Amino acid sequence: ALVTTTEMFKKAYDGGYAIGAFNVNNMEIVQGITEAARDLEAPLILQVSKGARAYANHTYLVKLVEAAVIECPNIPIALHLDHGPDFETCKSCIDGGFTSVMIDASSKPFAENIEITKKVVEYAHDHGVVVEAELGALAGIEDDVKVSAEESHYTHPEEVQEFVEKTGCDSLAIAIGTSHGAYKFTAAQCTRNEKGELVPPPLRFDILDEVVKRLPGFPIVLHGSSSVPQEFVRMVNEFGGKMPDAVGIPEEQLRKAARSAVCKINIDSDLRLAMTGTIRKFMAEHPDKFDPREYLKPARAAIKELVSHKIVDVLGCDHKA
């Protein structure tokens, strides 16, 4: 059924696991993700960015998700707006069938973030919709916003309690060292292991602990949580792509986060890599083929396999539906 995240988060918090929030942009992505969740009986969040709405159109995305809800009667699915930039976008999604919205005013001053978030919460709660807000600034690119490493900053734990009390938000995204996109860290920020691969700096679990102390029982969200699987980076590079030094968050770090107060883990870049790597390989190996179904089919299967792996080996939310 199409649900809010309230019940999902409560169970995830108490059960020491996290729900995967996967970005969707077209039918094959929706199908790959939901087939994995359905087979593994995993609760699921499908999220739509401003860019996704601009690309695929609000109605198409809502109807694709509604189709998935019908095809997957055994699991709860939430439809969430990712990085809502303003009240109007949030309102449009609340009025248009979403069960959850994020208002991302994290780049605004603290008082302004509170003011905007509170306004969204009031409208959302009046309509049975839940709200994710954000404190702190992740590095990386999302939609048209690019935050440089210098401009990014960790969440200040001393702000979280006042923020949640004043806004009434239902979950909080925090910055503890994750980052958006496929290039999360520069080589200079990393060390190298014996194989010569980049090893990123660990997440700031000390900051997470400080947040949890001030917000016991409150669901925390991690954005920018793709692991950038090197098998797909190699596949992209082997078949004509160029993604040097793409690096993500090690899965062990995410497993640790999933066991904690983190109830929602956002993954988009890994889906893009799986899809693009698979299509590049198919195109290179079958230069004669031109039926889109022939390359979208293995791409969809790659997404299903990736999401299955995340559900079982990283999030721990299999058989929690």
Token pair 């159109």 is found at 57
Helices (H) and strands (E) in the chain, counts: 12, 12
Q: At what angle do helices 292-309 and 27-40 cross, to 10 degrees?
A: 40
Query: At closest approach, how far in Å is the CB of 188 from ligand G3H?
Result: 24
227 is a contact residue toward ligand G3H (CB under 6 A): no
* 8 Å CB contact between 120 and 86: no
List the x/- string, 123-142, binding to ligand G3H by CB under 6 A.
-------------------x
- Total residues interacting with ligand 13P, rule: CB under 6 A: 14
Q: Which of 23, 31, 278, 308 binds ligand G3H (CB under 6 A)?
A: 23
d(CA 109, CA 26): 35
Single-letter code of the amino acid located at 290: F
Q: Which of 17, 106, 108, 90 is nearest to 310 (CA)?
A: 17
83 labelled as ligand-binding?
A: yes
Neighbours of 123 (CB within 10 A): 17
272 is a contact residue toward Zn ion (CB under 5 A): no
127 labelled as ligand-binding?
A: no
- Total residues interacting with Zn ion, rule: CB under 5 A: 1
Token pair 């995204």 is found at 173
- Contacting ligand 13P within 223-282 (CB under 6 A): 223-226, 266-270
Segment near ligand G3H (CB under 6 A); pick from 45-53, 110-118, 124-132, 254-262: 45-53
223 is a contact residue toward Zn ion (CB under 5 A): yes
**200: DSSP letter:** P
Query: At closest approach, how far in Å is the CB of 291 from ligand G3H?
Result: 27
**Out of ligand 13P, ligand G3H, Zn ion, none, which partner does residue 143 contact, by CB within 5 to 8 A per kind?**
ligand G3H
Q: What is the number of alpha carbons within 13 Å of residue 199 lying toward its C-beta?
A: 9
81 strand-pairing partners:
48, 101
Cα-Cα-Cα-Cα torsion 133, 249, 257, 319, nearest 10 degrees, comes to 100
List the x/- string, 252-281, binding to ligand G3H by CB under 6 A.
----------------x-------------
**What angle is formed at CA 33 by the lines to CA 321 and CA 76, rounded to 5 degrees?**
25
Query: At closest approach, how far in Å is the CB of 234 from Zn ion?
Result: 25
51 is a contact residue toward ligand G3H (CB under 6 A): yes
Q: Which of 38, 180, 264, 320 binds ligand G3H (CB under 6 A)?
A: 180
* 8 Å CB contact between 17 and 320: yes
* 8 Å CB contact between 273 and 237: no
φ/ψ of residue 17, rounded to 5: -135, 180
305 is a contact residue toward ligand G3H (CB under 6 A): no
Segment near ligand G3H (CB under 6 A); pick from 49-57, 110-118, 186-194, 206-214: 49-57
- Judged by beta carbon, residue 113 or residue 227, the one nearer ligand 13P is 227
- Judged by beta carbon, residue 272 or residue 300, the one nearer ligand G3H is 272
d(CA 237, CA 129): 42
Active site residue 144: no
What are the distances in angstroms from CA 215 to CA 178, 210, 225, 262? 20, 9, 22, 12
Which one of the listed residues 82, 170, 268, 318 is annotated catalytic?
A: 82
Binding residues for Zn(2+): 83, 104, 134, 180, 223
Q: Which residues are catalytic?
A: 82
Chain residues in the site for ligand 13P (CB under 6 A):
23, 82-83, 180-181, 223-226, 266-270
Chain residues in the site for ligand G3H (CB under 6 A):
23, 49, 51-52, 82-83, 142-143, 180, 268
